[in-house]
Amino acid sequence: MVALQLDELLSALDTRRNGHATFASQAAPAAEGKKKEAKVVKEKPKWGEPGAAKAAKEVKAKAPNATAVIPVTPEGEMKDMTLPMEATYNPKAVESAWSSWWQKKRFFTPDAKAAKGTAESQRFIMVIPPPNVTGSLHIGHTLMVGIEDALTRWHRMCGRTTLWLPGTDHAGIATQSVVERLLYKQENLTRHDLGREKFLEKVWDWKHKHGNRIVHQMNRIAASPDWTRERFTMDAMLNKAVVEAFVRFHEQGLIYRDNRLVNWSPHLRTALSDLEVDHEDIPGTTLLSIPGYDGKVEVGVLCEFKYPIKGSKEHLVVATTRLETMLGDVAVAVHPEDDRYKAFVGKELEHPFFPDRKMVVVADTMVDREFGTGCVKITPAHDVNDFKCGQRNGLEMISVFSEDGSINGNGGPFAGQHRFEGRKAVEEALKQKGLWVQKKSHAMRLGLCSRSKDIVEPFLKPQWWMNCKELAEKSVKAVKEGDLAIIPEFHQNTWFHWLENIQEWCISRQLWWGHRIPAYKVVKPAQEKELWFSGRSYDEAKAQAQAKLGTNDVELVQDEDVLDTWFSSGLFPFSVFGWPDIEGNDDFEAFFPTTLLETGHDILFFWVARMVMMSIGLTGQLPFKTVYLHALVRDAHGRKMSKSLGNVIDPLEVIDGITLPELHKKLEEGNLPAKEVEKAKRGQSADYPDGIPECGADALRFGLLAYTQQGRNVNLDINRVVGYRHFCNKVWNATRFGLRYFGDDYTFSGSLRLDMPFAWEDKWILSRLSQCAAKTNQAWEKYEFANTTTATYSFFLYELCDVYLELLKPRFYADHYDQADEAEKKRIEEDRIVARDVLYICLDWSMRLMHPLLPYLTEELYQRLPPSPTKRESITVASYPTAVYGWVNDVVEKEMEVVSEVAKQIRSEKASLGLSPAARPKTYLRHLDLHWRECLTKLSERISRMALSGEVKVLAEGEHAPKGTLRSVVNAECLVFIEVGGVDLHAELAKLQKKVVSAQKMVKSYEDKMAAPGYEDKVPASVREMNTQKHEAAQIELKELQKAVANIEQAMAGTGRLEKRPGAAVTASRACSGVARPCAPAMSLRP
């Protein structure tokens, strides 16, 4: 026999780098052996599709069924696959036990020694963006994990050395805030009451008890990282890397200490990174509540007051949104080309509360002449632009705030007041002095601390800074020269913008939880100016100080501050592999640099750029070759996820299901204000009136990956995920149905031979299967995840289930077998052998093609497939199918397109006539092309089965269709004639005409609504949109009903005959070229 050159057997038996294949010997449960055709369980209508409203009423969302019995599998053990396959798909049962078994079998743990020296094309290494240790799984994490896990599984199945390394971030501010709140709530203590060491013990205790929650949740969505290599950014190994990085950069002069402005959170008393500041647009006068202040803070106003010119009666009017900062004013700036104020440049001003302070008018191009009065008050210690202006003009920098946000001693008569009490007091004092002008509403952007919601203040404080300019230039060059790819490419502009305009990075934070800065200040001998030394230890820093100062009598004290969390995160791609200890380090040698970094586009600069810069600076290499940035998840209406809107989606609520009252209860137990709770409840009631049905992790993953083609944002509609839950049900039922065709003793040989007597549908399905494999592999390579879901979904549902499985039934349940002679029986049996082998290939390949998308379901079903020499112990390490070009058959695919179009038209006409699904009317076909007449004759039985019709007869050229048939046009060269004898056409016509009248009323009712006076202004946009959609749907329904009336009237009038008409000379192949998929023999559910 001639073996197929590119056969599945050859690729599956190819030795994998990580060891030889472990073949499974477990056979599928015994088939029942019945000759009667098995019925696939019907699915309920999809949500969001026709019939959805009815389905929603019948199938209310509910929490997991407490009465469902799921067999208990000991932790780490494999499920008992000898148990009967359940009749219906139960995601909770299917998704149980697999993760712990995969981990125990170490399917996800590569051997570093064996991996050393692996060619770049044969390795896939990726580190997870470490989620905060305080965090819980949210929908954004789920998309991230879904993408990363799918890629990892695909590369693993392709036989590559694969490592996906997990970890969590210590999240300095977030974690310290959580523990401080608990400490105060439970023990009425502050961290200062405990002291640094005792407080840090409390934090570590909290981390060990609660810090792994997100790790456990990742297991719920089938994440397959190497958990044996899990890292935490405060681990000793990673702390060593942080200390080394700081010392090296400090020695190079890139890290330095300076007194500069930082984002300051008075409530938390720490500096913040830009990412930790939320910028809120304030439309005008607004009252805000902030932590630590009893009253309301007035924002969104512009205050104007006068500064008198010394020695004259003239004055300058300035405007500010932060009136209290005028206590630190040292100048007023005007534009040097502003003729209104040229004469005032250089003159002295009088500060109303500090008459002895030197204040001058300076000329500076930073001033916008068109804004306000064209005069800008300058407070160098409390505004970023003023700080730069102060440096340019040599102005004094007077800080008037304390770390807690109160006014300090430099505030004169206002000292000791909360800064916002001071704001009110300054206004009153200016009024008393006759210097107040006015206060007016003013739109502005306000920076709020993302953790505490306090108003962020620019604050002058000595901090550690890092100069990233040179490293940024190298990072830009890496992208421009193609050494680092950023996908999608449009994000490159953001990369260039940030790095080409990079500012110094404030890397110190006033916290206790985090990597304490390895810098030591000399306290003995006393120094006029602070003197700092960095070191990998106290002794190393002291030795440097002794050498510098020329004395051994030196005492140092370590900086109390810690490093910005992003500093340690920036080292993550190499610190996790043991850097800087790289000598004899198998992990570092085998796995660094990594292959891919996948994350959300919102942290492209804050994290990704810093990893690239720090890797270049410390290892001389890029940390990865490619950056893939996924979209951000929003709700179905495109709104940002917000607790106050009630649209925040907990993935576990989608996986397990939740009722609307339970959703409301979670809001009530949260920390939202009462008014916002009610608002959020209304949002939940509108979006999830019946709660969220149990979907399972597989459906959620599949749905999120299907959304990835949307670009910058994903507008997630949970109803679509529910639709993919139905798809999982279809995969379960169809596989269960297909397994019945295999007997007790069936074993797949491992390959299909070219000389096997394939039936027409076998050739077609193998061709489509090969095309599906080609599309999915191409999509994985290009990070086109939506194309992988489309290709696998379409193949399994529309081609395998809807067509091939239906066409298989007559071959396995041949009615004439008992009456056949021996030769015919032998032919039938040989045909069944071929059908089983092709079916096995289809099911086996389908499971493996879909495994990165539906890991739990495909493992469960793969384990139930009959044995084969190519079958692995687990689908996670089975080979990923690749295209077999010897299976591709364009001729058969074209024939299927024509057959499908004919069958589709027959089904459509049956529906138009109101015939019951069980009706099997005889059908006649007329085609102008001889070739297609012969082809359709040959395939008439297949057409009959696909169209759910009776006998299909192809009319000879010139042959008239029998009377009593309804004519319908398939295309320019093909007609179908359906027998309508025995059908009471008068009764059917009367029914349809009543429906037409009803549909016309429905259309008119919407037209009247939409034409009502004030409709566009008074009716909410969401309601108008819904009315428009319903109006369009009603119009479509009306047209279909009118078409059905016309068809019946035509049938009652007699039959017609196809004649060539001018302009109708279109070939059948061209006429059918637009058919996207074969005609389905049964209505299919799809999201």
Secondary structure in 3-state letters for 177-246 = HHHHHHHHHHHCCCHHHHCHHHHHHHHHHHHHHHCCHHHHHHHHCCCCCCHHHCEECCCHHHHHHHHHHH
Q: Provide the pLDDT confidence category of residue 1069 given band limits of 50, 70 and 90.
A: very low
- Are 712 and 868 a contacting pair, CB within 8 Å? no
CB atoms within 10 A of CB 888: 17
The letter for the amino acid at 34 is K
- At residue 467, does pLDDT exceed 70? yes
Alpha helices per DSSP H over 394-446: 419-432
| End-to-end CA gap in the chain | 45
- Are 287 and 296 a contacting pair, CB within 8 Å? yes
CA distance 395 to 981: 100
pLDDT of residue 329: 97
- For residues 685-706, one letter each, b for 16 or more C-beta atoms within 10 angstroms of the residue's C-beta and e for the rest, the string is eebbeebbbbbbbbbbbbbbbb
Give me the residues paired with residue 899 across strands. none
- Of 63, 71, 116, the C-alpha closest to 97 is 71
Weakest-pLDDT range from 273-277, 373-377, 557-561, 971-975: 273-277
- Of 275, 330, 742, 833, the C-alpha closest to 509 is 275
Taking the mean position of all CA atoms in its chain, how far away is CA 206? 29
985: region left, alpha or beta (phi > 0 left; psi from -120 to 50 alpha)? alpha
Mean pLDDT of all residues belonging to the chain: 87
pLDDT of residue 21: 34
Residue tagged 């065709």 (tokens): 741
Give me the residues paired with residue 975 across strands. 926, 969
SS3 state at 734: helix
Give me the residues paired with residue 362 across strands. 333
Q: Tell me the whole-structure pTM to 2 decimals.
A: 0.82
Taking each helix axis from N to C end, the angle separating 213-220 and 139-157, rounded to the nearest 10 degrees, works out to 60
Torsion of CA 436, 438, 441, 442, to 10 degrees: -70
- Report the run of H or E that residue 897 belongs to, with start and end: helix 890-912
Taking the mean position of all CA atoms in its chain, how far away is CA 613? 26
pLDDT of residue 705: 94
Number of H helices, E strands in the chain: 37, 33
Tokens standing for residue 318:
């300035």
Q: What is the mean pLDDT of residues 930-959?
A: 95
Phi, psi of 219 (to 5 degrees): -65, -30
- Of 353, 453, 459, 446, the C-alpha closest to 404 is 459
pLDDT of residue 706: 92
pLDDT of residue 286: 95
When comparing pLDDT for 237 and 684, which is higher? Answer: 237
CA distance 143 to 786: 12
Strands 923-927 and 952-954, by their bridges, are parallel
- Are 290 and 265 a contacting pair, CB within 8 Å? no
For the stretch 530-572, pLDDT in tens is: 999 999 999 999 999 999 999 999 999 999 999 999 999 999 9
Q: Provide the pLDDT confidence category of residue 1045 given band limits of 50, 70 and 90.
A: confident
Q: Provide the pLDDT confidence category of residue 1079 given band limits of 50, 70 and 90.
A: very low
Q: Provide the pLDDT confidence category of residue 139 given band limits of 50, 70 and 90.
A: confident
For the stretch 807-862, pLDDT in tens is: 999 999 877 777 888 898 899 999 999 999 999 999 999 999 999 999 999 999 99
CA angle 738, 743, 745 (to 5 degrees): 135
Alpha helices per DSSP H over 490-606: 492-500, 538-549, 565-569, 572-575, 586-591
When comparing pLDDT for 1066 and 800, which is higher? Answer: 800
Taking the mean position of all CA atoms in its chain, how far away is CA 562? 32
Tokens standing for residue 657:
């299901």
- Are 461 and 262 a contacting pair, CB within 8 Å? yes
- At residue 29, does pLDDT exceed 80? no
Annotate 67-99 with DSSP letters as a single string.
T-------TTPPP-TTSPPPSS--HHHHTSSHH
Half-sphere exposure of 62 (CA within 13 A, CB side): 8
CA distance 334 to 339: 10
For the stretch 850-897, pLDDT in tens is: 999 999 999 999 999 999 999 999 999 999 999 999 999 999 999 999
pLDDT of residue 426: 97
pLDDT of residue 642: 67
CA distance 357 to 329: 9
- Are 557 and 533 a contacting pair, CB within 8 Å? no
- Are 510 and 265 a contacting pair, CB within 8 Å? no
Q: Provide the pLDDT confidence category of residue 710 given band limits of 50, 70 and 90.
A: low
CA distances (Å), origin 920, targets 273, 699, 849, 954, 970: 71, 36, 37, 17, 19
pLDDT of residue 1054: 59
Residues in the chain: 1087
pLDDT of residue 795: 98
- Of 261, 257, 283, 256, the C-alpha closest to 274 is 261
pLDDT of residue 65: 46
- Are 909 and 1079 a contacting pair, CB within 8 Å? no
- Of 849, 879, 876, the C-alpha closest to 98 is 876
SS3 state at 9: helix
How much of the chain is in helix, strand and coil states, percent to nearest 5? 45, 15, 40
